[in-house]
Structure 1
């Protein structure tokens, strides 16, 4: 999630929907946006969301929960990226050529 937020911030993208496949992670992220948390990872993510202007949820940004069965393509991309160590940013180019 931090990588995605950082990419959105650096590339100055707008109209972005962040989809999270874990209900627990979604709840932790959205609740951390409403109040303080002791978890360092969540605090860092919250700060990153704030500096990217996402914590205020303007009309162009949204974080949503999507059940993993409905997010199969994203899961396959993530598995391929991590398995093949394709760790460079590909957001700006509209997707990797190997899709």
Structure 2
């Protein structure tokens, strides 16, 4: 944890790795269930990031100053394009999944944001693909023609770019292929959990706060305005 050559995300996540490992052990022993390693590691990073955000803890760099590590800052699109960060908050096949997207211009200014709830998603990848379909449909209806779709879930990005390697999801991926025809330019990019944090928080609010009513709004949500403003400022630096 004191090795400053490693990324901040890794060094400060160690306690959560131990804690989630303990929880997984109890699930195996007493509930006969086990989460996937991938999901556990994602939860670990997510839990650590949320704790540090809520407690406003700053991690000093080698010179003793608090700073953003490379890749920790949301990056805007080039001028003339819209960047749309998306997320599907999938818990399990029995619960609703919260989905959300937030679209910003090259200044980092929020154009629109929206959230909704979906049902009957047997796994996270299907929830994420359905989130992409919903996002593309919404953007097309709004007249957006040049867009970047950004997600921190690498598998959905890979499935969209190489659909033939994901035959199990062929029908859903075909819908995305057809929707792409509605755009002049469309790019799919990977994000880190940190840089996709605002979209993640909007999606999580669906289940956390029982906000199952879908909506589309201009600008960003009021309860995230401070973070949106910080990311907008950084994007202009």
TM-score normalised by length of structure 2: 0.33
Distance in 2 between residues matched to 1:74 and 1:8, nearest whole Å: 16
- Displacement of 1:74 after TM fit? 1.2
SS of the equivalent of 1:4 reads helix
- 1:9 and 2:140 correspond: yes
Change over 3 Å in CA distance of 1:25–1:37 after alignment to 2:
closer
Distance in 1 between residues matched to 2:179 and 2:158, nearest whole Å: 17
SS of the equivalent of 2:220 reads coil
SS of the equivalent of 1:89 reads strand
Superimposed CA distance per residue, residues 9-53 of structure 1 (whole angstroms, 9 cap, x where no aligned partner): 111024432111111110111223xx6964111111111122x12
Distance in 1 between residues matched to 2:213 and 2:148, nearest whole Å: 22
- Which residue is equivalent to 1:64? 189
- Which residue is equivalent to 2:215? 88
Give the gaps of 5 or more residues in structure 2.
Answer: 1-131, 225-237
- 1:22 and 2:153 correspond: yes
Distance in 1 between residues matched to 2:190 and 2:159, nearest whole Å: 11
Give the gaps of 5 or more residues in structure 1.
Answer: none
SS of the equivalent of 2:180 reads helix
Distance in 1 between residues matched to 2:153 and 2:166, nearest whole Å: 19
Distance in 2 between residues matched to 1:22 and 1:63, nearest whole Å: 11
- Which residue is equivalent to 2:62? none
Q: Is the 8 A contact 1:6 1:48 kept in 2?
A: yes
Distance in 2 between residues matched to 1:96 and 1:13, nearest whole Å: 20
Greater length-normalized contact order (CA 8 Å, ≥ 6 residues apart): 1
TM-score normalised by length of structure 1: 0.71
Distance in 2 between residues matched to 1:37 and 1:48, nearest whole Å: 18
- Displacement of 1:71 after TM fit? 1.3
Aligned residues: 88
Change over 3 Å in CA distance of 1:49–1:15 after alignment to 2:
closer
